[in-house]
């Protein structure tokens, strides 16, 4: 996408980014590096959203399995995890804490 942006559009982006930077360089240099990064990040995003073209990307994923089969597979994975946990608890009973029983 960025290879299709014209030099004029990049210049517009640059000018808008510069216009949004209102903090003097002396104040900016006194900030902690995290604050500097957050400030620059927000400026770049604002300028990008204002200047550069955007594309809407949707989720076009369609499952190859029937919905009921997907649900069954999810349930089987959950049961498999529970069985695995039970096996571990049987193998290492000292790892079980009775505080988990209290509701």
- Please write the tens of the pLDDT for every residue from 37-89: 999 999 999 988 888 777 666 766 777 888 889 889 999 999 998 898 888 88
Q: In whole angstroms, give the CA distance from residue 79 to residue 85.
A: 10
Residue 23 phi/psi, 5° resolution? Answer: -90, 135
Q: In whole angstroms, give the CA distance from residue 47 to residue 6.
A: 16
Task: Record the pTM.
Answer: 0.49
- Domain positions in the chain are 2-51, 67-100
Is 47 exposed, middle or buried, given 0-12, 13-18 or 19+ CB atoms closer than 10 A? Answer: buried
Helix residue ranges per DSSP H, the chain: 7-20, 25-30, 33-51, 67-91
């Amino acid at each position: 996408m960025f290879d299709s942006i014209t030099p004029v559009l990049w210049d517009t982006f640059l000018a808008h980014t510069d216009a949004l930077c209102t903090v003097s360089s002396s104040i900016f240099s006194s900030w902690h590096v995290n604050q500097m990064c957050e400030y620059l990040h927000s400026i770049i995003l604002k300028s990008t959203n204002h200047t550069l073209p955007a594309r809407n990307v949707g989720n076009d994923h369609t499952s190859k399995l029937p919905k009921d089969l997907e649900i069954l597979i999810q349930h089987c994975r959950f049961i498999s995890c529970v069985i695995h946990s039970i096996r571990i608890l049987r193998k290492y009973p000292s790892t079980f804490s009775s505080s988990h029983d209290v509701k």
